[in-house]
Amino acid sequence: MMKILALLSILCIVQVVCSLEISEIMYDPEGNDNMQEFIEISGTDDLANATLQVGERNATLALAKIVSGNRSLVVEEGFPVEMMNCSVYVAGATIAGGLKNTGGIVRIMTGERNEDVVEYADDLADGNGFSLERAQNGSWQESSVKGGSPCQENSDGVKVLEYDLSLHIIAPEIMFTSIEYSSLFQIKNEEYVSGESSQVQALVEYVIRENETVLVNGSFWKNVSQSVTSNTGVFIPDRVMNVTICGRIKETSLLEDQENEFVCRESAVLDVGGRGCSISLSLDLEKDVVEPGEAVGFYNRVNDSAMPFVVQYSIKEVGGGEVRNSTTENKNKKTFTPPDKGNLAAYVLENRLVSVGCNNSNSVTSDRKILLVVGSDRTEDTIQILDPGLGTDKIANIGEVIKPRIKVIRGDNDKRTVSVYVQGEKRMSEPVTISIDEKYAKVTVTVPLLLKGDCKVKEGIYTLVAEGLDNIAKEQILVKSKGCVQESVKQDSFQGQAGEERESILSFYTLTKKPSIREPVNVYARVVGKNLSLVLKNSVGGREVFREERARGDVLVPEKLAFAVRLGVGKNLIALETTSEGVVNSKSIMVEVNASEQKNEIPEVRLGASADVMRYSLPEVSGLAVQESTVVYEGSKVKYLNILLVMVVCLALFAAWWRFR
């Protein structure tokens, strides 16, 4: 008897500890859904005793890899399992018939017990490359990064767009045996702006498979400004076959773990056999004498491009080091811009035919050219304001950003920085610093300056200043106060360009079925506007019980926000107020909490009972801006009541065992 009671106590404790939760769903990947959908389960690294259900169908799970930890991932066939750092289960070509792009229900069970149930719809992560992630407060949100965060901690839901890196496969769809392919991927900064974007380092992991056999498992770091394709992976096929190439951006230097985008594609490898050919290579320059800072184009000329080839080319400074070494598999134009070093300089450009898909009998497989750079012998420092960046109306408005273009030449000067700002009786903007690290360098930069102030700032003539390197440049600009209103005046819209009226609050609603003072209620808003700030307040009987403030900056594309609002007993008036370019916009909804219902809020729960999926809809409130919705991003929480009751039973069993031992 005592042994049975002790065993039951242990089993009860195990049940409490091993509760499972659906933490991430990729139901509609960007582009083709094949090999990209997944479901992440938190709470275990072993799903042997669990059942995953999508809709009404159970998924058949085959263990692909086991990794000790607290997560498991269910994926489709062809998913890059090798790159995952948690236990992975393959559910076939689709997961239980496929995760529907229009919405569905996902359930995880152990035996007959529901561990977690999630109902999703298609208004988040709907084919835009992001996944659905469960936040720490239990609500659902889009992932911060494309591709989601499988086998990792979920993100904070805040998207950072300054360095939006994307990964593309550029390896040929038709390859040939014994050819070295070293440009497999393209990394592209989708938010690149010439003269403004900095370089970012990216770590890419890639896998090449023939069916389930891994042929190549590699990684590489690349510095990315706008785009990079050279030396992005290596593959030398040795036989005729079909291969699948997959890659992902695992890490970046400025936004660590901000891109985990997966890309996969198939290629075919053919054998060219012993076919003979006569392929020659030459190097052509558009100019052989240029000025410092002047771009020169050059071409790797292959007389017959019908066969696959790889050309290596390099640029070396005479008396200096190598400035470029790369490979190419095409005849496209390449460019080189020599820096201004203040004196005569010479560069050697060389190329050679590394490989070709045939038995080549031609011996002319390399070439060399000399490029002369006529130095400017400039030693003076120069600062110029090329354009104040005011737009077509030639007016700078308080609270807006102007983008002046500044040209700086650093001569033989040990100083290296230039500050740009707007000056009146006091500074109207924070100074932005331009740093020129090399002597005799010439740069042209677009500098964003935010004009600070409010409606009390005096309109008039201010001075745009660029100073440094013992030089100063000034230009007068007209500053006005645009869109100012009295503090007591509220408007429901802000003015767009050319007088176009736009709503800054596009929607404001909640999905909660049964509000409670015990838990915050989730409230959602979709907003847009320039220099946007938000205040969310909840008042009960005229008394403010909750307040949250956020500053979002420029939100040029509609953005969905979520708030966790604390409620009080009675009628809760939840109001959202936004300020965009000095114009105030507000919307509100009412949520009523019944005092009598709060005393008996916990429902009756039976051990082993299945938790129903929560389906919420918000009733219409007369006179208020309330949007109806049936979309739910909350799983069943009845399992925590099960755990509480199980713990009580465990304590009773332990007391009985102690009494009879």
Token output for 617: 């809809």
Q: In the predicted model, what is the mean pLDDT of residues 129-137?
A: 86
The first and second tokens of residue 484, run together, are 């100012």
End-to-end CA distance of the chain: 9
Which residues lie closer than 8 Å to 430 by C-beta, 6 or more apart?
421, 449, 450, 452
Q: Residue 445 is which amino acid? A: V
> Which class for 198: exposed (0-12), middle (13-18), buried (19 or more C-beta within 10 A)?
exposed
What's the pLDDT tens digit per position in 485-540? 433 333 333 344 334 445 788 888 887 777 888 788 888 888 888 888 999 998 88
**What is the overall mean pLDDT for the chain?**
78
pLDDT score of 467 more than 60: yes
Residue range 85-92: mean pLDDT, rounded: 91
Out of 69-73, 266-270, 379-383, 404-408, which region has the weakest mean confidence (pLDDT)? Answer: 379-383
Residue at token pair 């659902």: 140
Cα–Cα dist 234/307, whole Å: 19
Helix (H) or strand (E) holding 652: helix 638-660
Look at strands 38-42 and 21-26 and give their pairing: antiparallel
Euclidean distance between CA atoms 21 and 257, whole angstroms: 23
pTM exceeding the 0.85 threshold for the entire prediction: no
Please give the residue that has the higher pLDDT: either 104 or 193: 104
What gap in Å lies between CA 74 and CA 91, rounded to an integer?
Answer: 7
Does residue 630 have a pLDDT over 50?
no
pLDDT score recorded for residue 193: 66
In angstroms, the Cα distances linking 227 to 189, 193, 296, 562, 643 are 6, 12, 19, 35, 52
Query: Could you read off the pLDDT of 21-56 as tens digits, one per residue?
Result: 999 999 988 877 788 899 999 999 999 889 999 988
Question: CA torsion sign, 141 to 143 to 146 to 147?
Answer: negative
Phi, then psi, of 328 in degrees rounded to 5: -145, 155
Report the pLDDT value the prediction gives residue 322, as an integer from 0 to 100. 83
Residue 496, strand partner residues:
none
The alpha carbon of residue 122 and the mean position of all alpha carbons in its chain are separated, in whole angstroms, by 19
For residue 547, give both structure tokens.
Answer: 């307040």
Q: Tell me how far apart the alpha carbons of residues 432 and 406 are, in angstroms, rounded to a whole number.
A: 12
- Tell me the torsion sign for CA atoms 283, 287, 291, 296: negative
Q: Taking Cα atoms as reference points, which of 315, 298, 310, 307 lies closest to residue 352? A: 310
pLDDT band at 196 (very low <50, low <70, confident <90, very high): low
Three-class SS state of 95: coil
Q: Do residues 491 and 402 lie in contact, with contact meaning Cβ atoms separated by under 8 Å?
A: no
Residue pointed to by tokens 């699948």: 244
Considering only residues 181 and 274, tell me which one the structure prediction assigns the higher pLDDT: 181
d(CA 244, CA 214): 10
Compute how many other C-beta atoms are within 10 angstroms of the C-beta atom of residue 183.
Answer: 21
Under the phi-then-psi rule, with left for phi > 0, alpha for psi from -120 to 50, and beta for the rest, what region is 162? alpha
Q: 461 CB contacts (<8 Å, ≥6 apart)?
A: 476, 477, 478, 479
pLDDT given at position 614? 34
State how far the Cα of 452 lies from the Cα of 44, in Å rounded to an integer.
52
pLDDT of res. 510: 80
- Residue 200: strand pairing partners: 224
Q: Given pLDDT bands bounded at 50, 70 and 90, which one contains residue 242?
A: very high
